[in-house]
């Protein structure tokens, strides 16, 4: 089978997502260590019935114990640290607005062809729209709380851009369709039909042996160099938009090729990526700073754990 084509997407997304996930993991590790340092109250829980099963009362505390035993302690710890961070942000009058989150989302979405493509990528990485907005809010809040402790210079941003230009560039790509058959004779017959004006997509549905592309009328989507066998790549990239009926051979058989769109290679200007690069470099430094900073916050805080075993 041929490799499925993938539209080039925002390379910085993975770096940003890694930063979010890394910070979350670090928070969890710190919380698990710090949890035992809290002071547990001796207050007895108030028993409350939440269900009756065949005349037997199920007390609220039973549900609470189950939840605590199945991840509740980690959730409680996360809530405690979130509250410490929120209180610190309140002291400094730092707020994250919905517009701030929308702006960051726009940066992430701008390389996608559609909202559906963006959501598919989100789901692949285990996020929903809501959880992504929550993650972005936490990331932006930590960035603003700790930005004055970072030391990212204009020279750092420029050097990073110069050393990683491939990250900010869009490679040459073509949107190509194909019809795969086993013999050159059949390929020539289909090519002749195309030259007479028959519809490429209909012929692909009728004759192509590639089931994935066949269902799309032969469309493989946008393809960069390196996605196809060399013989196919050379033939496809030699075509101009609108050209079709070109025959090329591969290890799979014979392909009738058509190119509908071409995307020329383009490098993003420095000013288009400057803010994103600066934020990524800051986030990298924040990752190293957040541990000691949280430990300091917790040491100064008064935390009383209620009914936790």
Q: Is the dihedral of CA 291, 294, 300, 304 positive or negative?
A: negative
Give the domain 12-168+269-305 fold.
Triger factor/SurA peptide-binding fold (1.10.4030)
pLDDT at 13: 42
Place of tokens 């910070």: 23
The percent of residues above 90 in pLDDT, for the chain, comes to: 33
pLDDT in the model for residue 158: 93
Position 192 scores a pLDDT of: 94
Q: What is the CATH number of domain 172-264?
A: 3.10.50.40
Structure tokens, 24: 């979350």
How confident is the model at residue 99, as a pLDDT?
93
Q: Is the pLDDT of residue 76 over 90?
A: no
Q: How confident is the model at residue 306 (pLDDT cuts 50, 70, 90)?
A: low
Specify the domain boundaries for CATH 1.10.4030 within the chain: 12-168+269-305
> Which band of pLDDT confidence, cut at 50, 70 and 90, is reported for residue 157?
very high
Contact between 59 and 48 under an 8 Å Cβ cutoff? The reply is yes
Residues 294-304 pLDDT 10s = 888 888 888 87
pLDDT at 12: 42
Query: Which tens digits make up the pLDDT trace of 182-226?
Result: 999 999 999 999 999 999 999 999 999 998 888 889 999 898 888
Any bridge partners for residue 286, and if so which?
Answer: none
| Intervals of CATH 3.10.50.40 along the chain | 172-264
Mean of pLDDT values over 57-84: 81
């Amino acid at each position: 089978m041929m490799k499925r084509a993938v539209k080039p997407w925002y390379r910085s997304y993975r770096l940003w997502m890694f930063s979010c996930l890394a910070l979350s993991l670090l928070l969890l590790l710190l919380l698990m260590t710090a949890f035992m340092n809290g002071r547990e109250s001796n207050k007895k829980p108030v028993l409350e019935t939440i269900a009756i099963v065949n005349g037997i009362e199920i007390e609220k505390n039973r549900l609470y114990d189950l939840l605590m035993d199945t991840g509740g302690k980690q959730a409680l710890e996360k809530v405690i640290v979130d509250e410490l961070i929120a209180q610190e942000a309140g002291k400094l009058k730092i707020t994250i607005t919905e517009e701030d989150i929308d702006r960051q989302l726009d940066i992430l979405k701008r390389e996608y062809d559609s909202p559906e493509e963006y959501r598919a990528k989100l789901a692949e990485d285990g996020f929903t729209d809501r959880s992504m907005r929550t993650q972005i809010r936490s990331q932006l809040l930590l960035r603003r709380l700790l930005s004055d402790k970072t030391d990212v210079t204009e020279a750092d941003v420029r050097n990073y851009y110069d050393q990683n230009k491939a990250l900010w560039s869009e490679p040459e790509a073509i949107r190509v369709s194909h019809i795969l058959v086993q013999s050159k004779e059949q390929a020539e017959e289909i090519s002749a039909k195309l030259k007479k004006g028959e519809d490429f997509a209909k012929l692909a549905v009728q004759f192509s042996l590639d089931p994935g592309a066949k269902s799309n009328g032969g469309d493989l989507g946008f393809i960069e160099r390196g996605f196809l066998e060399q013989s196919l790549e050379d033939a496809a990239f030699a075509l101009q938009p609108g050209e079709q009926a070109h025959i090329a051979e591969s290890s799979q058989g014979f392909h009738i090729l058509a190119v509908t769109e071409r995307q020329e290679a383009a490098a993003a200007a420095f000013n288009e990526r400057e803010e994103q690069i600066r934020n990524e470099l800051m986030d990298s430094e924040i990752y190293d700073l957040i541990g000691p900073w949280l430990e300091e916050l917790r040491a100064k805080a008064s935390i009383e754990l209620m009914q936790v075993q």
